Structures are given as structure tokens and as C-alpha cells.
Amino acid sequence: MKKLFTLIAIALMGVANLQAQTVTINKKDGSSVTFETKDIKDIKFVPAASSNEEVYTGKGKIKIGGMFGPYTAESSSYTIVKNADGTINVTVAEEKYKDLPVMGNTVIGTYTVKNIAYDEATKTYSRELAKDGIKVHVKGNTMDKDLDFIKSSKITIKFVGTDSISVNSVYEFTGMPMDIKAEFNGQKK
């Protein structure tokens, strides 16, 4: 009888230990993340050689101040890089627009927005642009200089299926009197 109670006690302690197991991941920055094993469905390791960069091509459209446009950049491309922490980086390639008011033929230079977080509520990635100190070179008839995004500027990216994206941006540059609403719908290259 004593052996039976000892066996039951050992079994109960084993079950208790299994239920309380945790996995702790220690990161290079000194922080750590702990999960209970019951909450982990699976663990996947992506090979270092696999590419996490996707290029999307399509037409870029802008509308200036809500009144002028839309103006179209015939061949736009956006490069998306998926980061290990679940955020993405997007690089917007140079876009050329014809006959903009005051500016004439205008080129908006390449820029990269990093660490764009996913918003579960809207199912989109979005980020305010002003806080990152991103500069964009803008060249037109009346301007040829680097400009900063100001506070109201924001980019929103939505993956549509597995092969396309929809990007909507509202941005304003320092020294410009009106905002620009930009839209891009692209297919994976």
C-alpha cells in the first residue's frame, strides 16, 4: 500500500511539473520572453538563406490637397522586407509624375520606412512617418531638395491575398502647403 501511495505521489508531481513548464527565450539585447508550453502550437526555424524580400510593381497615384489629380506614376515598385519581430520594412522606389500643379514634371525619390507594426484590428501594417526622420528628395520645376515628412504623414499597407498589396499614404512635406494622398496597388514580381 505504501508503494502505491508513493507511486501516485510521484505521478502527481510529474503531472504538476508538466503543466507548469515554461520556455524562456533570452535575446541578444538582454531581454527575455517566457511562454508556457501549453500555449505553444509549434516552433519554426526559417533557414538563414531564405529570402524575406518581396517586390511589388504597379501604378502609383497621388492626389494633391484633395483637389488636384489623380496623377499617375506608370511604373512604381515597393519592396517589402519581413522582419523577425513581425514588423515590416518598405522601400518605395523613385516615382515620376507629369504635369503637377506648380511643380510640373516631378520626381519623388526613394525612401525606406522601417519597423511598420501590424494592427490586428484593421488587418494592416501602419506607421506615422514624421517620427523617423526620413528624408525624401523631391525634384520638380520649382524645387530640387530633400524634404522631411511632418506629423500628419502616415503609411498603411494591406496584403491582399498572397500576391498583391494595397498601400495608402497621406503625407505632407516641410514647406509644402497641401497634403498628398498616395495610393499603390501592386502585384508580386
What whole-number percentage of the chain has pLDDT above 90? Answer: 50
For residue 60, the cross-strand partners are 73, 184
Q: Rg for the chain (alpha carbons), in Å?
A: 25
Burial status of residue 15 (CB atoms within 10 A of its CB: 0-12, 13-18, 19 or more): exposed
> C-alpha angle with apex 39: 37 to 43, nearest 5 degrees?
75
Burial status of residue 137 (CB atoms within 10 A of its CB: 0-12, 13-18, 19 or more): middle
Domains, in order of start, for the chain: 2-39 (no CATH), 53-188 (2.40.160)
Distance between CA atoms of residues 58 and 54, nearest Å: 14
Q: Count Cα atoms within 13 angstroms, Cβ side, for 110.
A: 6
- Mean pLDDT (whole number) for 149-165: 92
Threshold 0.75, pTM exceeds: no
pLDDT digits (tens, 9 = 90+) for 85-138: 999 999 999 999 998 888 889 999 999 999 999 999 999 999 999 888 899 999
How many residues in total does the chain contain? 189
Confidence of residue 166 (pLDDT cuts 50, 70, 90): very high
Residue 50, pLDDT above cutoff 50: no
Contacts of 113 (CB under 8 A, 6+ apart): 89, 90, 92, 127, 129, 132, 134, 155
What SS3 state is found at 76?
strand
- Mean pLDDT (whole number) for 68-91: 92
